Each structure stands twice: as structure tokens, then as C-alpha cells.
Structure 1
Amino acid sequence: MKLGLVCAATCAGILMLADGATAADVYTPVTPEPQQIVTEAGWTFSVAPYFWAAGLSGEVGQFGLPPVDIDASFSNIFDHLDFAAMAITEARYGRYSIFGDIMYSKISGSAGTPRGILASSATVSSETFAGLIGAGYALIDTEAARLEVVGGARVWSVDNDISFSGGVLDGVSVSDGATWVDAMAGLRGNYAITPKVYLTGWGLVGGGEADLDWDVAGAIGYRFNDKISAVAGYRALGVDYSNDGFVFDVVQQGPILGMVVRF
């Protein structure tokens, strides 16, 4: 059974240059910076909303039923997106950083089934929450570049509803969900090409209750002035989780586009 739909989640990849032209002043890859607060103790804080338009491919299954194949590009995102919210925060002190990344999306879609015997069509509604919290230490922290080794944990919570129409399963609806935690580790960094242009990216991989959990991204940013930056890039995130008949084995990928305002 194959169902086309699109997942929207969002991603941190929107960065902003602070005052000055060095890469050390560019905030880390998971921290867009619409607002920064600097304390006398040397801590810096940032918080930001962000948006990531992503396609979804893979398998979703529940109650031991045959998994539904999902394959849709990010170009159809607004046809299936019901709601999305996302935000990132970071605190930094010298070479040390603490960060959080929260993504929530609700999507839905429907399509006909291949043979139409068990059902002529199926409708899927999915709510996904993913929250990452971690800490980092800068191995390289120079005027040109910053490279951090990071570690943390990602919490997933997924709820799926599948409804069938026509055929033997006409009128049948099933719901299932799961919550799990995975340990994550990797690198993130940025590099100032010029006082206005910078590169940023990250790579994280891990697992735990999921067999595999990974997240990679790359982006280029441009600072118009001290208050406004723009960023464009690409992110891919995948997770392979299955337990007691519940299957969530998907890859989300798509472009990162954003405008960041600093107050």
C-alpha cells in the first residue's frame, strides 16, 4: 500500500553574524539568532523560531499491519501541512555551549491503494514531536572558524491515524503511537568566508531505542547588516524505529530558507 504525503518539520540552520567579522562571532549551526542577550558573566543567549520544508519517504506502520509506504517531495508540503511549530535556544560561554532544538508538525494526506481489494483508499494523519537537547565544546575557536564536538539526546513522540475507505476495510480506523529517546553525538561548525558571508553545517548520528537516528545539514548565510541575515541550505534527517508492531522508518529532507532579525 502506498500513500503519498509530505512532512513539514523545521530545522535550525538559520544563523546570524554578531558584531564583527570573525567566524567565532557566528552563532552555531543550530542557533538562528533573532535575539541575543549578553551578560556581564560572559554568557551569551539566543532564541529563534525557524522553518524547514521537508519531504518524507519511508515506511509507517502500526498494530502489526503492513507498513504504509510514504514517498513525497517537499514541493507538495503545503498540500498536506496542517500545523507546524519550531524553535531553538542556545547558551554559550567561551568554548562551551548548551542548546535545544524543538520541532512539531501535524500532517495529513490520502491516496488510492494499489489493488483496491482491502480498501480503495487510505488517509493518514501524523503528529510528530522531536526535541534535541545537547552540549558542545569547541575544538577549534579562531577568528576564521569554530568547530564543536557535541553530544545530547533526542526525544521522539509520534502519533499516527490511518483510516480506510472502500473494500474489506471500509470504515476501519486505527491509531497508534510511540515515544522514545536516542543518544546523539557529532560535530557542528561554521566558517566566515567574508565579513558578510559564512558557511555552516552539522552532522549528528546516534541511536538507542531507535536502530539509527541521524541528522546532517549545510547552509550558506549572508549578513545584510547587524540586524538582518538570510540563510539558504539543505537538511536531511532520518530515524529507523520499530517496536511491538509500530514502525517509523523515515527520511525527511528539504531546503532551509530563512530571514533572521536581531533585536
Structure 2
Amino acid sequence: MKKYAMTFALLLCGAQPAYAQDAVVGQPERSSPVVEERPTWALQVTPYLWAPGLKGNISPFRHAPTIGVRKSFSDVMDDFNVGGFINVWGRRDRFVFSVDAMYISTTDGRGTGSLQAFQIPGLGVAIPPGASVDAKVDSKQFTATVLGGYRFLDTPQFTLDGLAGARFWHISNDVAVTASHAAIGTRSASHGEDFSWLDPVVGVRAFLPVTEKLSLQGQADVGGFGAGSNHTWSGLVTVNYVFSGPLSASAGYKVLDVDYDHGGHVYDTRLSGPVLGLTYRF
């Protein structure tokens, strides 16, 4: 049983400095036209595809046994129902913001074979050791990271942003189980649970133009600090290419890690894999 979750790929922000016209020496005094400095705005939207593998330890419902999970991307796609990934990035002068969200729905159905003894809510009895168990898990995950920050370094050759914000997690599971054993006969039950938490996060984002059309970007954050999860962190590296006008594409690699263990729920996972995005800049 497992939950498949969780990334992104974005691009650039340019700067166009305003300037004031100098007065001409020796001419009669008169009012000089003044060019007002206006905030530089930038906004971009990036829907993207992420092809991660999954590994970690999870519990499908409260106080269920923790199960080790290790899945390749192809294994994850076998259970995939629907999902989507999107990132929005904006800047006003040196102030920046980012919203990254993803939604994943999967169904994992299999004969699990013999499992250790545990109680499934609604089953009425504990499943004894050695029981044959057929289980189906419908899992849904929504994750959204909202960040704001300041551009500490802004040059034509390199930009560096400091970021702070929060990452919201919502996990939902519906479990259907049929257990067979001589001691209990055949029993069936279904149960649904969901749980949510919020992690504070801090991070950085760096952007490096290579040519007029080609650039590199890196972004990383860390958080949790026991406020929600024990810890969470993410990292993203992309190569970006501007086609023409407002369109550009990104390709890279993304990792999203979390260790949550609270109130009988366990979600200790790492998602990692290649990412491909298409960006539209306004």
C-alpha cells in the first residue's frame, strides 16, 4: 500500500532600470522632465510534468503498521488516476513570491499475502499473524508551497533570492480489506481517513543566465522544524531555454522529502525524479 505524491520547473525575471535626464549646463533655468522610477514587475506561470520515484515508510491509517515502500516511476504510474502540477512565480522590484501546488490521486490494489497482526477499523477483530489479506488503497495527496522573499543580489550575471513561507500537506486514504484466516474466517471492511499539517519553510533561489536564451536555475528549501513534520526539504535544478516572446521551457531534476509522524499517522517519504515544464511570462 502506498501513497504517491509530489514538482516544478521555472524561469527568469529581468530588470529594466529607469533613469533621469541630466540638465544641460549653460541653458536658462527651466523645469527638466523627470522620468519616474516605476516598480519592475514580472510574472510567470509554469505547468509542469514530474516523473518521480517513491521510497519511504507510510501508514495508510491511524495506528496501522508502518509499511516500507520503494517504487520506480513506472510502478507509480501503474496506480496513477489523475494529477497535476503548477508553479506561479512573481516579482515586484526586489520582492518575490512563489506558489507551487500539486495534486495526485492513485489506487493501489493487490493481494498483500501474509501480514503481521493489526486491527483494521470496522473489521471487528484483529487480523492474526499469517492471515491472507487482499487490500485496496485509494490515496489522494495535495501539497502547496507558498513563499515570499527578497532579491538580495540582482545583477545581469546572477540573481539570488531569500525565501520564507509554508508548505501545506493533505493526505487522504480509503482502504478496503478482505482478510482470510482459519481463526477468523473471511472478514471484509472499509475505512477512510485523512490528515493535514503545515510546515514552515525557508529557502533560496538562484538564477544564472548563460546566453541570451539559455539559463540555469536552482532552488532549495528546508522546514518542518517539529512544528508540523519532523522535517521537510526540497531541491530543484533546471536548465531553461527561451523559444521566442513569452514562452520558454525547462528541464531538470526535483526532490521532495518529508518525515511526518504524529497522532498515529506516518508519512516519511522521498519523491525524486526528472521534471519538464513550459513557462509563459506576462
Q: What range is the shorter-chain TM-score in? A: 0.7 to 0.9
Aligned to 2:46: 48
Match of residue 195 from structure 2:
178
Return the match for 1:193 from 200, 204, 210. Answer: 210
For 1:13, the equivalent position in structure 2 comes to: 9
Name the count of aligned residue pairs: 240
In 2: Cα distance, 1:119 partner to 1:14 partner: 47
1:170 deviates by 4.3
Shift of 1:261: 4.5
Secondary structure at 1:120's aligned position in 2? strand
Gaps of 5+ in 2: 17-37, 116-129
Normalised by the length of structure 2, the TM-score is: 0.77
Question: Residue 13 of structure 1 aligns to which amino acid in structure 2?
Answer: A
Letter in 2 for 1:95: R
1:131 aligned partner, one-letter code: A
1:126-137 matched pairs, under 5 angstroms: 126-137=139-150
Judge which range, 139-148 or 50-59, deviates more.
50-59
1:255 shift after superposition: 0.8
Cα pair 2:45 2:279 within 8 Å, conserved = no
TM-score for the superposition, normalised by structure 1: 0.82
Alpha-carbon offset, residue 6 of structure 1: 7.0
Q: CA RMSD in A?
A: 2.3
Corresponding residue number in structure 1 for 2:67: 68
- 2:271 is aligned, of 238, 245, 252, to 252
Q: Distance in 1 between matches of 2:222 and 2:202?
A: 6
Report the residue type matching 2:9 in the other structure.
Answer: G
Secondary structure class of the residue paired with 1:76? helix
| Stretch moving more, 204-213 or 159-168 | 159-168
Structure 2 residue aligned with 1:243: 262
Pick aligned residue for 2:247 from 228, 236, 254: 228
Give the secondary structure class of the aligned counterpart of 2:8.
Answer: coil
Provide closer, same or farther for how the CA distance between residues 87 and 141 of structure 1 changes in structure 2, counting only shifts above 3 A: same
Task: Answer with 1 or 2: which has the greater Rg.
Answer: 2
Alignment partners' CA distance in 1, 2:43 and 2:149: 14
Give the Cα separation in 1 of the matches to 2:268 and 2:94: 36
Determine the C-alpha separation between the residues in 2 that align with 1:224 and 1:48.
15
- Residue 37 of structure 1 aligns with which residue? none
1:156 is the counterpart of 2:169: yes
- The alpha-carbon deviation at position 8 of structure 1 amounts to 4.9
Of 80-89 and 43-52, more deviation after overlay is shown by 43-52
Deviation for aligned residue 1:51 = 2.4
User: In the alignment, is the contact (CA less than 8 A) between 1:177 and 1:246 conserved in 2?
Assistant: no
Does structure 1 conserve the Cα–Cα contact (< 8 Å) formed by 2:146 and 2:167?
A: yes
- The equivalent residue for 2:120 is none
Q: Counterpart of 2:64 in 1: which secondary structure?
A: coil
Give the equivalent residue in structure 2 for 1:94: 93
**Residue 68 and residue 122 in structure 1: after superposition, are their counterparts in 2 closer, same or farther (change >3 A)?**
farther
Match of 1:50, as an amino acid?
Y
- Name whichever of 211-220 and 47-56 sits farther off: 47-56
Say if 1:100 and 1:127 are closer, same or farther in 2 by CA, change over 3 A: same
Answer whether contact 2:99 2:147 (CA < 8 A) is retained. yes
User: % of aligned pairs identical?
Assistant: 30
